[in-house]
Amino acid sequence: MITLDRVSMRFGGLVAVDDVSLEIHGGRITGLIGPNGAGKTTLFNMIAGRLLPSSGHIVLEGRDITKLPVHERSHMGLARTFQIPQEFGRLTVLENLMVAGNGEKGDSVFNAAFRHRNYRAEEEEIYHRARETLDFLELQKLSEAKAGTLSGGQKKLLELGRALMGNPRIILLDEIGAGINRTLLVRIAEMIARLNVERGLSFCLIEHDLAYVQRLCSDVIVMAEGRVLTRGTVEEVRRDERVIEAYFGGGKYEERA
């Protein structure tokens, strides 16, 4: 579904992502793990289009999207959530979802000013979709609340809902579980699994909690120091000594000591 071909990202002297080639398969939930500073979020940002790679190519369903603007990737069915929630703070929860519904007619300024009948049907469809998404997220009661006033966990749910509103084929989840309580964590995991099974939606998620990754992902990519270290099931990568070394620092320091 998404293919990375020798992708690198350099910030000045720092090589955040170093010559990475990999494939994210459609229909699966792929996990992306690795210690802090491994280049996971940088990789996400390049796939989503927020960063332009220093070199290499990114292909989404056969099309080279390396230089495609973010919004056009979104139209191609690529959605994402952010590590720190980036809600539209002064819009209501319902509006946050409706904005992401991507109505073409409603986003025309001419229709907005002179022909509001033109977008009414489309708007109604988006409205009902947003209501369904609120039901799915169990956020109905907060539909009229300003998104900026939500709790951290609710914002995470809203991020997921917003990603869903664009009818994507793959969603990149950047630490959707970070900083939220256990109950909600389990609920979100159930949602992701359901979306994957029922709608055939693909996910790629960055996560630190290995138990969480094990629960969801059949396929795990391990990154360290900007490179792909290994790939396989959670059991396989757990047994890999290089992974243990990368996570627990080990190696180099002990040798020197």
Please state, in angstroms and rounded to a whole number, the distance separating the CA atoms of residues 32 and 15. Answer: 18
Please state, in angstroms and rounded to a whole number, the distance separating the CA atoms of residues 188 and 99. Answer: 22
In the bound complex, what is the minimum distance in angstroms from residue 214's beta carbon to another protein? 28
Question: What does the block give as tokens for 234?
Answer: 């959670």
Please state, in angstroms and rounded to a whole number, the distance separating the CA atoms of residues 204 and 168. Answer: 13
Q: Which amino acid does the sequence have at 240?
A: D
Q: Which helix H or strand E contains 114, and what residues bound it?
A: helix 109-114
Nearer to another protein, 14 or 113 (CB): 113
Nearer to another protein, 50 or 227 (CB): 50
Contacts with another protein by CB under 8 A lie at 48-50, 69-71, 74-75, 79-80, 82, 86-92, 95-96, 98-100, 102-103, 106-109, 111-113, 116, 119-120, 123-124, 126-127, 131, 144, 162-163, 165-166
Partnered with residue 80 across adjacent β-strands are 172
In the bound complex, what is the minimum distance in angstroms from residue 71's beta carbon to another protein? 5
In the bound complex, what is the minimum distance in angstroms from residue 253's beta carbon to another protein? 37
Nearer to another protein, 35 or 103 (CB): 103
In the bound complex, what is the minimum distance in angstroms from residue 128's beta carbon to another protein? 9
In the bound complex, what is the minimum distance in angstroms from residue 133's beta carbon to another protein? 13
Q: Which letter, b or e, does each residue of 178-189 get, where b requires 16 or more Cβ atoms within 10 Å of its Cβ? A: eebeeebbebbb
Nearer to another protein, 47 or 246 (CB): 47
CA atoms within 13 A on the CB side of 186: 2
Nearest-10 Cα torsion for 104, 108, 113, 116: -20
